[in-house]
Amino acid sequence: MRRGCALAALFAAACSSSKPPEPAQAPVGVTTSAPTPRVDFAYDSLDDRPVTAEALRGKPAVLVFMQVGNVNSQGQIAYLVAMAKHDGDKVGYAMVALEPRSQRELLEMYRKWLGVEFPVALADAATMAGAGAFGDFHGLPVTVVLDRGGRVVYRVDGRVAKSDELREHMRGL
C-alpha cells in the first residue's frame, strides 16, 4: 500500500503542469552586464569632429558600427538621427562605417542622404578585423551605449535597437 501511494505521488509530481522558471537571459545578440572597463578608441572622422573615446567622455554616448549596403544599418541610423535631434548635446552620437577608405566619398553621400548630423567615421583595420576596442561583431549593425566614463553598458549585435530600448539603458547615465 505504501509503495502504491509513493508511486502515485511520484506520478502526480511528474505529470504536474508547473515547470521550474527558466533563467532570465538576454535575447540573442544583446549584451546586458555590468559596465566594462573604459574603452579606448579613435576613428578617422569624415570631418573635423573627432570620433574618439576622449571626445565622447563626460556624457552618455551611442555608437553604431555599420555598413552602407546593410539594410538593418540604415534602420538603426534612422533611429539615431531622430534621437540625436531630440537629445541635442546631452548625448553623444557617432556612426562608424566598416568600409574601406576608398569608400569615403560614398559614405559622405550616404551620411547626407540619411540626414546624419552627428560625427561619422571610418573604422580602423583592427576594428574591421574584429580585433578593435569593441571586439568581434556578430552581425550588423552593432550599437553600443557608453556611460559618461566611456564604459560599455549595453550592446546589440545584428539587429536594430529601437529608441525606447536604447533610452532604457541610458536612463540614469
101-112 confidence digits (pLDDT tens): 999 999 999 999
Domains of the chain by range and CATH? Answer: 29-170 (3.40.30.10)
What pLDDT was estimated at residue 7? 44
Q: Could you tell me where the DSSP H helices lie in the chain? A: 2-15, 53-56, 71-87, 104-114, 125-128, 163-170
Quick one: 81 exposed, middle or buried, by C-beta within 10 A (0-12, 13-18, 19+)?
middle
**What are the tens digits of pLDDT across the range 24-72?**
445 555 655 566 789 999 999 999 999 999 999 999 999 999 999 999 9
Side-by-side strand order, sheet with 120-122: 30-31, 152-157, 142-146, 61-66, 92-97, 120-122, 42-45, 51-52
For residues 68 and 96, what is the distance between their CA atoms, to the nearest angstrom?
11
Q: Which of 65, 68, 81 is nearest to 140 (CA)?
A: 65
> In whole angstroms, what is the distance from residue 30 CA to residue 4 CA?
50
Indicate the pLDDT class of residue 90, thresholds 50, 70 and 90.
very high
pLDDT tens digits, one per residue of 114-123: 999 999 999 9
When pLDDT is cut at 50, 70 and 90, the band that residue 136 belongs to is very high
pLDDT band at 3 (very low <50, low <70, confident <90, very high): low
Q: What's the mean per-residue pLDDT of the chain?
A: 87
Q: What is the pLDDT of residue 36?
A: 78
Residue 94 C-alpha cell reads as: 557617432
Instruction: Report d(CA 140, CA 152) in Å as an integer.
Output: 17
Report which of 50, 151, 32 is spatially closest to residue 96, judged by C-alpha positions. 50
